[in-house]
Copies of this chain bind each other. A is one copy, B any other.
Amino acid sequence: MGLTSLNQQLLSKIATNDEHGENSPYFDGWKAYDNDPFHLTKNPNGVIQMGLAENQLCFDLIKEWIEKNPTASICTTEGSMAFKDIANFQDYHGLPEFRNVRLFDPYAVAKFMGRVRGGRVKFDPNKIVMSGGATGANETIMFCLADPGDAFLVPSPYYPAFVRDLRWRTGVQIIPVTCESSNNFQITIEALEEAYNKTVEANIRVKGLIITNPSNPLGTILDKDTLKSLVNFINERNIHLVCDEIYTATIFRLPHFTSISEVIQDMDSNDDLIHIVYSLSKDMGFPGFRVGIVYSYNNEVVSCARKMSSFGLVSSQTQYLLAAMLSDDDFVGRFLDESSRRLECRHKIFIEGLKEMGIHCLNSNAGLFCWMNLRPLLKESTIEAEMALWRVIINDVKLNVSPGSSFHCTEVGWFRVCFANMDDDTVEIALQRIRKFVTKKEREVATVNKKRCQMNL
């Protein structure tokens, strides 16, 4: 018996089924960067990381706040008196007044969630549950809502790691709902119905629909009417609607963002079916802090998710810092405004640079990335051609961008390119590299055409 089959008996199916989703170009691109990381002076020919949706544009504001607020940390002379209480603090969920400390301040978080959504809706602190990042929040909500084998509909293209977060350990199935460039990748009721009906016909129980709004990888937002039609769709079928809104504060220009929480205020919906996933990784730029949030309108889900939070509680040291930071209304306001302004500026520089070279991106107003159309550069309309182009971009152009196929996009030639995890100089170099590549490609095409022309003569 080989080692693999021996281990298949020894270990679990989860450990041996290879369904963790990490064998994707999305993650491979990170490795390419890791092997030869760009640095402006130390490694100017290295790979530029454009595969990471990080928000690094406003750390100067955070640093300033940190230095002005030494008591927000248990590791300063001013704050170290609190070290003992904080290092010991464990969230015994359901015991809100435990020790009269509640580090994970749901009031501050609820206020923040309302604020980034334009103040048009109030969030109830009692419906907020802490999780280990959006990763943990997504898995938690699946464990609460679905049994192994049950299915969730997910509009494609979608976040590559959903495969791990939603499916891997829960056994839940992801059923893609096809969105197409012909209508700017909007979700249609027809596509939803088709995916739903096919799944039901295959005798699989559909437990709900998951949307990301703003969308990763599209950077687009859903309008009120679409959201209403989705709420009707799930109500008619008595299935759940999970709204991943982790990019809410990355909206950098009009139209305004509409949260699902705003939409259901005016609708006759069964709110027990509505759940929001939130996080501070994108909106504040703190992915390392692992703050994920499950906000559910269903009290039983809140209660269950709170028990599950034991598997992914946020470090109390970080909770303590963030409780102070998010409670500072002036700072939060200034940060959100400035972050949005800087994102708009960065987005404009980047897509206008691309436009000059004849490369177009999907029109978007949110996110830390754009959805770039390189279809004209493909040798043929196949995934193989997309992967071949991707390898050239990684290995020769030395940019780690992520191919659309890793987002389960059904059309080839699209790439997600992140633009907020670098400084201005690096963006400029990235644009130069793309320009050089496109010019070379155009020359190649011209030469081929010339040759063809000569052969025809």
- Which residues in A have some Cβ–Cβ distance to B below 8 Å? 7, 10-16, 20, 22, 27, 30-31, 34, 37, 54, 56, 59, 62-63, 66-67, 70, 72-77, 79-81, 83-84, 86-90, 92, 94-95, 97-100, 103, 132-133, 135-136, 139, 143-148, 150, 161, 164-165, 169, 238, 240, 272-273, 285-290, 298, 300-301, 304, 307-308, 310-318, 321, 421
Contact = CB atoms under 8 A, between A and B. Distances in A.
Nearest to A64: B80
A89 B20 contact: no
A9 B89 CA distance: 36
Given A56-B88, A67-B77, A70-B76, 13 more contacts: A10-B298, A15-B300, A30-B92, A31-B95, A56-B84, A63-B81, A63-B83, A86-B288, A87-B288, A88-B288, A288-B317, A311-B312, A317-B317
Nearest to A73: B75
A168 to B, nearest CB: 8
A164 B316 contact: no
User: Which 4 pairs, one residue from A and one from B, show the smallest C-beta to C-beta distance?
Assistant: A288-B316, A73-B75, A315-B315, A59-B84
A132 B15 contact: no
A311 B310 CA distance: 11
Given A90-B288, A99-B37, A288-B86, A10 B272 contact: yes
A304 B169 CA distance: 11
Copies in the complex: 2
A66 B81 CA distance: 10
Nearest to A16: B300
29 contacts: A7-B300, A10-B145, A10-B298, A11-B144, A11-B145, A11-B298, A12-B143, A12-B144, A14-B143, A15-B143, A15-B304, A22-B307, A30-B98, A34-B99, A54-B88, A59-B84, A59-B87, A63-B81, A66-B80, A67-B77, A70-B76, A75-B75, A75-B76, A87-B288, A88-B287, A288-B316, A290-B314, A311-B312, A315-B318
Given A73-B76, A300-B15, A88 B317 contact: no
Nearest to A82: B63
A136 B312 contact: yes
Contact of A135 (B54, B89, B147, B311): B311
A421 B90 CA distance: 13
B59 A66 contact: no
Given A290-B314, A315-B290, A316-B288, A304 B11 contact: yes
Contacts of A290: 313-316
A12 B98 contact: no
A58 B88 CA distance: 12
Nearest to A99: B37
Contacts of A12: 143-147, 150
Given A14-B143, A31-B95, A90-B287, A315 B317 contact: yes
A70 B16 CA distance: 44
A317 B34 CA distance: 22
A345 to B, nearest CB: 19
A390 B298 CA distance: 35
A13 B238 CA distance: 17
A30 B132 contact: no
A30 B95 contact: yes
A155 to B, nearest CB: 22
Nearest to A318: B315
A325 to B, nearest CB: 10
A321 B311 contact: no
B59 A83 contact: yes
